[in-house]
Amino acid sequence: MEEQYINLYQQYQEQIKGHAASVMNESRDASFGLFEELGFPTSKLENYKYTDLTEPLSIEYGLNLNRLKIPVNPYEVFKCDVPGIHSYLYFVLNDGFYPVHDHHNDELPKGVIIGSLKDVAESHPELVKAYYGKMSLGKKDGLIAFNGAFAQDGFFMYVPEDVILDRPVQLVNIMRSDVDFMANSHNLIILEKGAKAQLLVCDHTMDDVRFVTNRVTEVFVDENASYEHYKLENTHIKTTNLSTLLIDQKTSSNVLANVITLHNGVTRNTIEIDVDGEHCETLLCGMVIGDKKQQVDNFTSIIHNKPNSHSTELFKYVLDDRSKGGFTGKLYVARDSQKTQAYQTNKNILMNKTAKMRTKPQLEIYADDVKCSHGATIGQLDESAMFYMRQRGIPEKEAKLLLMFAFTADVTENIRIDALKDRIKMLVEKRLRGELSKCEGCVICQ
Amino acid sequence: MRPIPNIMLEIKDLHASINGKEILKGLSLTVHPGEIHAIMGPNGAGKSTLSSVLTGNPAFEVTHGKVSFYGKDLLELPPEDRACEGIFLSFQYPVEIPGVSMVNFMRTAINEHRKYNNLPPLSATDFLRVMREKKELVEMDNKLTNRSVNEGFSGGEKKRNEIFQMAMLEPRLSILDETDSGLDIDALRIVANGVNKLKSPENASIVITHYQRLLDYIIPDFVHVLYDGRIVKSGTKELALELEKKGYDWIKQEVDKK
Ligand SMILES: Nc1ncnc2c1ncn2[C@@H]1O[C@H](COP(=O)(O)OP(=O)(O)OP(=O)(O)O)[C@@H](O)[C@H]1O
Ligand SMILES: [Mg+2]
C-alpha cells in the first residue's frame, strides 16, 4: 500500500517541492523518511486500534502534485448560510487554498493575516518558519509524516497580540474531483498574546467518487489568548477523513474545541492539546451521529504540563445500523502539574445490536494533588423514559428522536456562537430524523 | 328516564405477566363515563401492573383476556394511540427526562393528540395560554415548567406535574396511581381540586390509593380491593373506611378460604 506513494514521492519530489514554499520543503525529506519507516497506521498499533484504513487505502487515488487548477469557484457554488452568522469565509478546495475573491480581507482587523499557507510562507517566511511543524514534525505517526511529505498548501491564520477577530472565521474544505482523489493539506493558526478568534471548519464533498483527506492543523495559542475551534463534518459515505488537530496552549489561555461528525464514511480525528501554561481553560467536546457502515474514531489527548489548569472533555455518540465508534481519552498530568483539574466523559447510545462502540480512557497522572475523573457508558435509550413519553401520546419514533436530541444537547450547548448553535442543532435534528442534513442553500454538499 | 350508560372501559378476565411471572390473574372491571373507581390493595397486589397493562407498557405481556375502550380493542393499540384515545396515567414513579424541556415535551404531546384527532397544531400563543391556565389550576410554579421533564423535581412536585399534564391533555379516562403519596396536605388538596375540576359526565377516573384520606376529596362511586392479581371485593366508599380501620387481613383470609 505504501509502495506506490513511496515511488510517487521519489519520482515527483522535484514537482512537489517546486509547487511548495521552501519553509515547508525544508522538512519534507525528513517527513518522507519517517513515513517510509512507519508506513500507514494499522489497527495493530495501540493508538489506531479503532481505526481500520486497510480498505480505503487499498484504492488508487489521484493526487494533484502539480497544482493544476480545479475548474470550480466555491464562492459561486457554495452558499452555506448560517443565518445570523456573518463570517470571514475561506475555502480549501481539495488540497489548496482557494484565492480570496471576496473583498473581506480588507475588512479584517489590522495586522490579521488569513490566506494560503504557501503564499504566506513565501511572503512572511520568518513568521511561518517560527511555527510550521513545531508540533507535527517528527511525531511518530504515519499519517502526520505522510502529510509532511505531500502537503503543499493549506489555510493560514495569524492574529497578532491583543487583536480580537470581530467575526467568526469559516473554513470550508471542499472535495471536488471526477476521479478517486486524495488531498493533503496543512493548516497553521497562530494567536499571539491576548488575541481572540473563532474558527469554524466544515468538511464537504461534491462528487460521487472516493475521497481521502489527510489534514494536519497546528494551532498556537499564546498567553491570555482565546481560541474556539468548531469542526463540522458532513461528507458522503465514500469519504475517508483523516484529521490531526494539534493545539498548544500557553499561560492563562482559553481553548474550546468542538468536533461534530454528522455524516461521513471513515473518520479518524487525532486531537492533541498541550496545556503548556498555568491557569489555562480547556474544553474539548465532540459528537458523532453514525449509521449505515460509518466508522468514527476520535483519539484525543490532553497533556497537562504545568500546574493549576482545568480541562473538561465530553464526547457523545449515537450509533445505529452497523456503524462503529471508537473513543480514546488520553489524559497526561506531569509530575509538577499540581492542582490540575481534569474531567473526562464519554457517553454512547447504541440504537441496535449491530452498532459497535469501543471506548478507552487512558489516564497517566504523575502529580498527587489533582482532581481528575473519567467516566464512560455505553447503553440504549432509557426504556422508562420512552414509555413515559409514549403514554403522553408521543409516537415511538418521535420519542426516540427527542431522547437522542436531548442526549446530544450538552455538546451542542458548548457552541459559543448562538447562530451557529441554532444551525447545528437544526442539522442534528434533521440528521436524527434520517433526513439529509446538508446545510440549506448549500448546493454542493450532497 | 336515564339513558342506558354506555361502557367506557371493559376489562374481562385479564391475565398479565412480567418476565414470565404472572401478576394479573383474571381481573375484570367495567367503567362507565362519569364514574370514579378507587382501587386499593396491599403492596405488590398488581395495582401498578394494571395501570401499566392498560396503557400498553411493553415490559408486560398480556397472556389472556380482553380490554375494550369504547368498544375498541385496546390491547391492539400501541401506547401512544391509547394515550390519544384519551387514556392518561399519572405514574406512581414519574420518569425524569434530562435534556427534554417541559415546554417542548408538552407541545409535542398536545400536538400529537391533535394530529390523532385530525386537528391542526396549536399556535404558539394558544399553547402558551393553555399552559398558563393549567398551571394556575394546579398551582404549579413557573420554575418547574422551565426545566427538563421531572428533572430534579421533588417527589411532590413530580406528582403535581402529573396532574398538570393531565389537565393539559384532558383525557377521557385518567388512571391516578398513588398520586397522593408523597404529597403534603396542601398539595393533596390542590391536586384533588384539580382532579375534581376536570371531572365531567363524559370522563372517568381510576384512582389507586392506599389512603382513605384522598377519597375524602375525590369521592369514589366504587371502591375495589385488588389482591393477588384479582379484584376480590367491590363496594361503595364505605368499604374504604372499613379497610382503613381493619386493614387487609380479613379480606385475605376470605379469599384464601375459597
Ligand atoms: N420488572 C419486574 N420483574 C419482576 N417482578 C415484577 C416486576 N415489576 C413488578 N413486579 C412484581 O409484580 C408484583 C406487582 O407489582 P405492582 O407494582 O403492580 O404492585 P402494586 O400493587 O402497585 O404495589 P404498591 O402498592 O407497592 O405500589 C410485585 O410482586 C412486583 O414485585
Ligand atoms: Mg404500585
A187-246 confidence digits (pLDDT tens): 999 999 999 999 999 998 888 899 999 999 999 999 999 999 999 998 889 999 999 999
Nearest residue, CB atoms, A387 vs list B57, B99, B148: B57
Range A382-411 average pLDDT:
96
Residue A445 has pLDDT above 50, yes or no: no
Q: What is the pLDDT of residue A441?
A: 43
> What are B52's three cell numbers?
401499566
> How many angstroms separate the alpha carbon of residue B92 from the centre of ligand 2?
6
Q: Would you say the C-alpha torsion B232, B236, B241, B246 has a positive or negative sign?
A: negative
Contact criterion met (CB below 8 Å) for B94 and A384: no
- Best residue in B19, B52, B92, B105 for a mutation probing chain A (most A CBs within 10 Å): B105
Q: What is the pLDDT of residue A430?
A: 87
CA angle A232, A345, A366 (to 5 degrees): 115
DSSP string, B78-95: -HHHHHHHTEEEE-SSPP
- Least confident residue range of A104-118, A266-280, B48-62: A104-118
Sequence-distant (≥ 6) Cβ neighbours of residue A172 within 8 angstroms: A74, A78, A80, A89, A90, A91, A92, A201, A202, A204
DSSP string, A351-397: SSSS-EEEEEEEEEE--SS-EEEEEEEEE---HHHHHHHHHTT--HH
Q: Would the CB atoms of A391 and B88 count as touching at under 8 Å?
A: yes
Q: What is the pLDDT of residue A83?
A: 62
- Least confident residue range of A339-343, B108-112, B179-183: B179-183
Q: Which residues of A touch B165 (CB under 8 A)?
A: 392
> How many angstroms separate the alpha carbon of residue A289 from the centre of ligand 2?
38
Residue A84 binned pLDDT confidence (cut-offs 50, 70, 90): low
Residue A442 has pLDDT above 50, yes or no: no
Please identify, by atom number, the ligand 1 atom nearest to the C-alpha of residue B50.
18
Give kind and range of the element (H or E) at residue A242: strand A239-249
Give kind and range of the element (H or E) at residue A416: none
Q: What is the pLDDT of residue A82?
A: 62
Q: Would the CB atoms of A388 and B97 count as touching at under 8 Å?
A: yes
Residue B243 has pLDDT above 70, yes or no: yes
Range A316-338 average pLDDT:
96
Q: Would you say the C-alpha torsion A90, A96, A101, A106 has a positive or negative sign?
A: positive
CA distance A146 to A138: 11
> How many angstroms separate the alpha carbon of residue A326 from the centre of ligand 1?
39
Pairing of strands A155-159, A181-191: parallel
Q: Which of B20, B15, B43, B113 has the alpha carbon at shortest distance from A391?
A: B113
Q: What is the pLDDT of residue B175?
A: 97
Pairing of strands A96-97, A371-379: unpaired
3-state helix, strand, coil in chain A (%, to 5): 25, 35, 40
Q: Would the CB atoms of A387 and B88 count as touching at under 8 Å?
A: no
Please identify, by atom number, the ligand 1 atom nearest to the C-alpha of residue B51.
18
Contact criterion met (CB below 8 Å) for A442 and A77: no
Range A35-62 average pLDDT:
94
pLDDT digits (tens, 9 = 90+) for B131-158: 999 999 888 888 888 899 999 999 999 9
Pairing of strands B87-90, B173-177: parallel
Q: What is the pLDDT of residue A383?
A: 95
According to DSSP, residue B250 is labeled H
Collapsed DSSP state (helix, strand, coil) of residue A37: helix
* A379 vs B: CB within 8 A: no
pLDDT digits (tens, 9 = 90+) for A266-291: 999 999 999 999 999 999 999 999 99
pLDDT digits (tens, 9 = 90+) for A349-377: 999 999 999 999 999 999 999 999 999 99
Q: Which residues of A touch B95 (CB under 8 A)?
A: 382, 384-385, 387-388
Q: How many CB atoms lie within 10 A of CB B44?
A: 12
CA distance B88 to chain A (A): 7
CA distance B41 to B255: 13
**Alpha-carbon distances, residue A216 vs A120, A241, A438 (angstroms):** 17, 11, 25
Single-letter residue type at A343: Y
Pairing of strands B230-235, B222-227: antiparallel
Q: Would the CB atoms of A383 and B59 count as touching at under 8 Å?
A: yes
Q: What is the pLDDT of residue A102?
A: 59
Q: What is the pLDDT of residue A446?
A: 38
Q: Would the CB atoms of B83 and A406 count as touching at under 8 Å?
A: no
Residue B5 binned pLDDT confidence (cut-offs 50, 70, 90): low
> How many angstroms separate the alpha carbon of residue B247 from the centre of ligand 2?
17
Which residues have any ligand 1 atom within 6 Å of their CB?
Answer: B 18-19, 21, 23, 41, 43-49, 92
Average pLDDT, chain B: 93
Collapsed DSSP state (helix, strand, coil) of residue B67: strand
CA distance B36 to chain A (A): 21
Contact criterion met (CB below 8 Å) for B165 and B94: no
- To test the pocket of ligand 1, the residue of B19, B47, B55, B60 to mutate (highest count of ligand atoms within 8 Å of its CB) is B47
- Best residue in B80, B115, B134 for a mutation probing chain A (most A CBs within 10 Å): B80
